Amino acid sequence: MSYDVELIRADFPILERRVGEYPLAYLDSANTSQKPQVVIDAMVDHYERHNANVARAMHVLGAEASAAYEAGREKVAAFIGADRADEVVFTKNASEALNLAAHSLGQGLKPGDEVVITVMEHHSNIVPWQLLCARTGATLRWFDITDDGRLDLAKAAAENLINANTRIVSVGWVSNVLGTVNPIAQIAAQAHAVGAVMVVDGAQAVPQLTTKVAESGADLVAFTGHKMVGPTGIGGLWGRHDLLTELPPFLGGGEMIEIVRMTGSTFAPPPYRFEAGTPPIAEAVGLGVAADYLAELGMADVAAHERAITAYALETMQQLDGLAVLGTTEVGPEGRGGAISFTLATRDGLDIHPHDVMTFLDSRGVAVRGGHHCARPLHERLGITASTRASFYLYTLEREIDQLVEALAYTRDFFGRAA
């Protein structure tokens, strides 16, 4: 079956909305994706017919809920290319997954050890490592970027960034601002050569790319459900099973234990040792259905559509006087993901604040994001305070890009007249 975007859009009820007199052009999928009806229905059905706690109640509903929860884990594991389902730890989002990684990996860190990240990271892949280094005395270092928004591998090599003192390397697979696809396997090989653990923030990659975590070179990969047509409130951390069995738990509570005595406790095997308390059960059901939905579409076709719509957007947007794209304008498997961040100025060079751009676009039915997109250090590195971001996904149409460009032209000209 060919990839029919109009047919796919019929699965997403919200895309039929209008904003005033304008059709909704939802171009904020890097922030959160919309949900197909099958995901919504699966969660409603769970609450209506199977709701109970998992791994506790021995009645019929409890057994059904437990089976549904673990089925969600199996579906997600298959979707991301894990070797086994118990390598997938459910968390509430990618941020919690990265905090789990930082807390558990960092137990043995000491002064003189080094953690390496990049300047293009989302705050969720910066702050946990800052907190870890502050707590342990380890040193935080980072990759710089080139003028076209790629990691500066040559500078990193010259600075001996990954070295014998490196214990952890944590890199975003796809930048949520620049769209840059980072060479994860290459960096992982460098990390492993010095005995370091490779952590990957896959929040933007897993929804867009065919993902084979077991073949990626990573040791741990964080991802989140709400960016991959799944519900909010659930994400995951994939890890190599041998590594997960060595890591201490992140949170304490029910179901993450083996035996509890007043003198001490022992812990359950992974993934359960990292899932304290009542988990997001209905959300796991919904995420499993989301994984099935994406798998049925075919991630190769999703990625191809994303490349095509991003190429169309770059070509169309760059014809607009006053618009400057951040990062690379190359599109392809190693080029960029479907997020385009940009600045806008009037014809006489007056910068228009991204919050104003976002507001004016919203008044014309176009949903984008304005700000630093939880990546303030990257914006500082680029010499700007903020940007506007349009981000696309499996349901984005060319006519929505046209609507975006028309709204941007209107915004530019309005502020030009106001000046």
pLDDT of 306-354, one tens digit each? 999 999 999 999 999 999 999 999 886 667 899 999 999 999 999 999 9
Please state, for a pLDDT cut of 70, what percent of the chain lies above it.
99
Helix ranges (H only) for 271-349 are 281-297, 299-317
Instruction: Tell me if 11 is assigned to some domain.
Output: yes
Q: What is the pLDDT of residue 335?
A: 75
Instruction: Tell me if 33 is assigned to some domain.
Output: no
Q: What Cα–Cα distance (Å) separates residue 230 from each residue in 32, 86, 227?
A: 9, 20, 7
pTM comes to 0.97
Residues 200 and 187 in one domain: yes
pLDDT of 130-142, one tens digit each? 999 999 999 999 9
| Mean pLDDT value across residues 248-267 | 95
Q: Compare 379 and 333 and report the one with higher pLDDT.
A: 379
At 379, which CATH number?
Answer: 3.90.1150.10
Q: What is the pLDDT of residue 2?
A: 79
Residues 124 and 257 in one domain: yes
The answer to whether residue 374 is catalytic is: yes
Q: What Cα–Cα distance (Å) separates residue 178 from each residue in 17, 186, 305, 406?
A: 29, 20, 18, 23
Asked if residue 1 has pLDDT above 80, the reply is: no
Run of H or E including 74? helix 60-80
Residues 20 and 85 in one domain: no
Which of 187-191, 231-235, 334-338, 394-398 has the weakest average pLDDT? 334-338
Instruction: Tell me if 268 is assigned to some domain.
Output: yes
Q: What is the pLDDT of residue 419?
A: 59
How far apart are alpha carbons 238 and 85 in whole angstroms? 9
Residues 305 and 182 in one domain: no
| Nearest alpha carbon to residue 392 among 314, 278, 327 | 314
Instruction: Tell me if 325 is assigned to some domain.
Output: yes
Instruction: Tell me if 180 is assigned to some domain.
Output: yes
Dihedral class, residue 22 (left if φ above 0, else alpha if ψ from -120 to 50, else beta): beta
Residues 235 and 155 in one domain: yes
Residues 172 and 89 in one domain: yes
Residues 22 and 169 in one domain: no
DSSP of 270-290: TTGGG--SS--HHHHHHHHHH
Instruction: Tell me if 34 is assigned to some domain.
Output: no
How far apart are alpha carbons 127 and 374 in whole angstroms? 11
Q: What is the pLDDT of residue 57?
A: 76
Residue from 181, 213, 256, 374 carrying the catalytic annotation:
374
Residues 283 and 314 in one domain: no
Structure token pair of residue 359? 């507001």
Backbone Cα Rg of the chain: 22
Handedness of CA 399, 402, 406, 411 (dihedral sign): positive
Structure token pair of residue 268? 């359950």
Residues 98 and 174 in one domain: yes
Q: What is the pLDDT of residue 334?
A: 67
Run of H or E including 241? helix 241-246
At 209, which CATH number?
Answer: 3.40.640.10
Instruction: Tell me if 260 is assigned to some domain.
Output: yes
Asked if residue 174 has pLDDT above 60, the reply is: yes
Structure token pair of residue 375? 């990546």
pLDDT of 27-63, one tens digit each? 999 999 999 999 999 999 999 999 999 987 789 999 9
Q: What is the pLDDT of residue 247?
A: 97
Q: 3-state SS string over 162-174?
A: CCCCEEEEEEECE
Q: How many CB atoms lie within 10 A of CB 92?
A: 17
How far apart are alpha carbons 79 and 98 in whole angstroms? 20
Last residue of a domain, one of 273, 295, 317: 295
Instruction: Tell me if 269 is assigned to some domain.
Output: yes
Question: What's the whole-number average pLDDT of the chain?
Answer: 96
Q: What is the pLDDT of residue 417?
A: 86
pLDDT of 176-223, one tens digit each? 999 999 999 999 999 999 999 999 999 999 999 999 999 999 999 999
Residues 189 and 289 in one domain: yes
Last residue of a domain, one of 295, 323, 354: 295
Last residue of a domain, one of 247, 266, 295: 295
AA identity, residue 362: D
| Nearest alpha carbon to residue 241 among 88, 47, 408, 72 | 88
How many structural domains comprise the chain? 2
Q: Which domain holds residue 310?
A: 5-28+298-418
Asked if 29 and 396 count as a contact pair (C-beta separation under 8 A), the reply is yes
Residues 88 and 150 in one domain: yes
Residues 156 and 190 in one domain: yes
